[in-house]
Amino acid sequence: MKRGLLLFIFILVSHSLVAREVHNINRGWKFFSNSAVSSDGALTVNLPHMWNNDALSGKRDYFRGIGNYLKSIKVPNNWQNKRVFIRFYGANSLANFLVNGKHVGEHRGGYTKFTYDITDCLKYGEANTFWVIVNNSPQMDILPTAGDQNSYGGLSRNVEIIVTDPTVISLTDYSSDGVSVVQNRVSEEMVEGVVNVMVDSHLGCNVTAEVTISKNDSMVVFTQSTGSYIGADEEPKMLTIPYTIQDPILWNGVINPYLYSVNVKLFRDDTLVDSLELQTGFRYFSIDKNRGFMLNGSPYRLNGVVAHQDRVMVGPAISTYQVMEDFTLMQEMGATAVRVANVPHHADFYKLCDRFGMIVWSDIPLIGAAFLTDKAFLDTPSFKNNGIQQTKEIVKQHFNHPSIIFWGIFSDLSLRGDDPLNYIKELNTIVKTEDAGRYTAATSSEDGEINFVTDVIVWNHHLGWKEGWPDDIIVWLEQLKKEWSNLNSGISYGAGASIHHQEDSLYRPNYMDSWHPERWQTYFHESYYKNTQNNPQLFGTFVSNMFDYGATGRTWGEANGINDLGLVTFDRRYKKDAFYLYKANWNKNKPFVYIAERRWNQRNNSNQDIKIYSNCREVELFVNGVSMGMKSGDNGIFRWSDILFKDGISRVEANAVTAKDDMFLEILNIKPMGISIE
């Protein structure tokens, strides 16, 4: 599987485009702090890069300030009479860009692309200095302004120079593709829509856009062109080409994530001057009150997770390989949907979701307060303008991904302070204007009108973690059915755990203490899964979280600075037991057995229960080679009660017809309780 993903990503990054040169300039930047008197002592770094190793070590007052990136590039003479752009894929959170000491532009927002036309700033045939001033200090008018996630500083994603003809498919329409494939009507019989091509020209000329749509076997299913005159001083012009495809193969999630190629060629006075190729898929979806989420007319279970992108050592400055590793873990668990939490993720992640059928909910960074001092929403013009800017960037930049079904408008907003309701309505309207074909969504744990703005609402619960007991969710579900059955509701839930915290007792810990036993997290998820997974009131589940993530404001759990709600550890090395609960129920492709509570391998009682997770029908348990019998599972859980162990170390084995697992268990300080197993 990994080899296939690597090949896919290689194809993504290595294909070339006619009449457009794309040059990656990630290597060899000079990095220095804002207090340096010169760049002589600057570090040489390669992008992606972030400077907050102090945050990753859990330092609460990690550096929030300015970092400088310098790079000298010799610009060839043959770039004259062309146009030269620079595209940044992410700089958190405020970035000012200068060429040869002159300011070109400022971008406000850490995880969306931004592009500048630097044609008139360059010295051709000479060395040119690029200087990026990045600032991750708290900015109360750059979203997000709240939440517990770390705000890392740096050029944390790729940077490219793009050289084009003076007439080009636009690169500066919120740094989108410049091409949007709109799906107006989709069915098994026909797809109808339009392809919008934004044309940007410095010349007065006649332009023609030609659109060709092909199957993945290169068979052309549609081709058409349209033209117009565009003046030299005219704003970029949109050319619209209606298309129809008969008998389409629909993009059908993990069942058949079928993609079509859309090739756009741009001609100036009959001369090919630019082209762009992208992939998209055609699908339709709805939510049925009785059958849940429907994809292409059939029920489709959203077995979802909430995913943050940062990790140990690198924060958000992740490589393509690490993107692939995260995606592979989600696939192994059997997830069919992912909420891309809080901010947009790496571009390759969305491409993998398209290619392998993972349905995506992508958030706008309007995040609720995690701490008393947080201000999630400020009713100021600069705050609201930045939210509108980032909303448009997110929707336009990711518009062509068939995997994206939901745009997340807000996450867990509270109603204290300035009332965000009217602003949420405004953002919802903007998203619907830019993209009428997808759902808007939000996560909430509040009552009130805030829950009635978006198309769907996903309730974020921690009953059994922060308060109460996991089975309290049953009472809440009854209340949901009684009072809010008119809403399209989903659910999100989670509890923290450390793989190093093991003990005999099973109880709800104080979530703000330093002891987060893994067994409680497992019990919590078993209870929620049993009570919510097949509930017809819920169109989908989004387990929070897939991975632990950096949160320096947290001083509880195993280590300071980590939100440990993940099913996989921050370094991705260890899968917690609850990971295998979902794998047993969500992934039916490859048989497996997993002996749970294996890290609780020293116990103080000779009479023990053994629990196994498996997607097999029957599993047999052996202790020191002696069969304890065959069991059938319930929700992927197989239990053997009151097994008597001898003092010392015993071998525990689980066998199914096509899978097996084993572990060693040590019994300490026991009292005799009958005949032990030899």
pLDDT above 70 for 670:
no
Please calculate the CA angle 389-155-141 and round it to the nearest 5 degrees.
35
pLDDT for position 18: 54
pLDDT above 70 for 260:
yes
- Dist. CA 655–CA 633, nearest whole Å: 13
pLDDT above 90 for 34:
no
pLDDT for position 41: 86
pLDDT for position 672: 47
pLDDT for position 464: 97
Query: Higher-confidence residue: 529 or 56?
Result: 529
Percent of the chain with pLDDT over 70: 96
Q: What is the CA radius of gyration of the chain?
A: 27
pLDDT for position 414: 83
Residue type, 554: R
pLDDT for position 233: 84
pLDDT for position 673: 43
pLDDT above 60 for 641:
yes
Percent helix, strand and coil across the chain, each rounded to 5? 20, 40, 45
pLDDT for position 415: 76
- Dist. CA 182–CA 178, nearest whole Å: 13
Residue 491: its H or E element:
strand 489-493
476-496 pLDDT, tens digit each: 999 999 999 999 999 999 999
Per DSSP bridges, beta strands 66-74 and 43-45 are unpaired
210-258 pLDDT, tens digit each: 999 999 999 999 999 999 999 988 999 999 999 999 999 999 999 999 9
Q: Which pLDDT band, with edges at 50, 70 and 90, does 373 fall under?
A: confident
pLDDT above 90 for 558:
no
pLDDT above 90 for 19:
no
pLDDT above 90 for 676:
no
Residue type, 607: N
pLDDT above 80 for 671:
no
CATH numbers and ranges of domains, the chain: 2-169 (2.60.120.260), 179-280 (2.60.40.10), 602-667 (2.60.40.10)
pLDDT for position 417: 82
Q: Name which of 309, 642, 361 is nearest 492 in CA terms.
A: 361
pLDDT above 90 for 17:
no
569-579 pLDDT, tens digit each: 999 999 999 99
pLDDT above 60 for 341:
yes
- Dist. CA 659–CA 620, nearest whole Å: 11
Q: Which pLDDT band, with edges at 50, 70 and 90, does 383 fall under?
A: very high
pLDDT above 70 for 15:
no
170-218 pLDDT, tens digit each: 999 999 999 999 999 999 999 999 999 999 999 999 999 999 999 999 9
pLDDT above 60 for 114:
yes
**What value does the mean pLDDT of the chain take?**
94
What are the structure tokens assigned to 126, written together?
């000479």
